Amino acid sequence: MTEIFHSTEDVLRFAIAGEKDAAQGYVDLAAQAKSESARAFLLELWGEELEHARLLEALNPAALPASGAGGAADLRISDYVVDEPLGDDPSFQDLLIFAAKKEAKAAALYAGLAARSAAAAQKKLFEFLVGQERTHKLRLEQEYEKYVLPEN
Ligand SMILES: [Fe+2]
Ligand SMILES: [Fe+2]
């Protein structure tokens, strides 16, 4: 994997793919949920990630942070990828924590884009996404604790 993005459009493609991947991940996870409330929660995240993909797809690329030094394209791809491999048969809890880590990376990516956005509307969108992904991370961790802490 290359170290940096080649263009702002590259960053956007990466983000949209990440949203779709996250959405699919939550559908898969919902299928394994042990309670109706966990299932509903995961399907809520699925819907929000799909909405994020739609919002990003609707962005006007011309209004995105500029490519080149100081622009979106200097973001390092490796900073936004969760590289910790999951085992062959990860538990539901493992998957919740893996998803929470991916949420943290997504929040960091949008924070990077927000910081580089000159256009107010784009900055607002990326800041909105930062807030959503941070909330997802927190809620996933709370879900994780429901299963893990009582056993310890
Ligand atoms: Fe998202
Ligand atoms: Fe998310």
Q: How crowded is residue 56: how many other Cβ atoms within 10 Å of its Cβ?
A: 21
The CATH topology of domain 8-151 is Ferritin (1.20.1260)
Written as one letter, the residue type at 46 is W
Domain ranges for the chain:
8-151
Q: Strand, helix or coil at 76?
A: strand
C-alpha 49 to ligand 2 mean position (Å): 6
Token pair 């990003």 is at which residue?
Answer: 56
| The token pair that represents 81 in the structure block | 């990828």
Ligand nearest to the CA of 49: 1
Q: What is the pLDDT of residues 117-140, one digit of tens each?
A: 888 888 999 999 999 999 999 999
The Cα-based distances of 88 to 24, 68, 91, 92 in angstroms read 18, 40, 10, 13
Nearest ligand, CA 135? 2
User: What spacing in Å lies between the alpha carbon of 90 and ligand 2's midpoint?
Assistant: 20
Reported as a single tens digit per residue, the pLDDT across 16-69 is 999 999 999 999 999 999 899 999 999 999 999 999 999 999 987 776 776 555
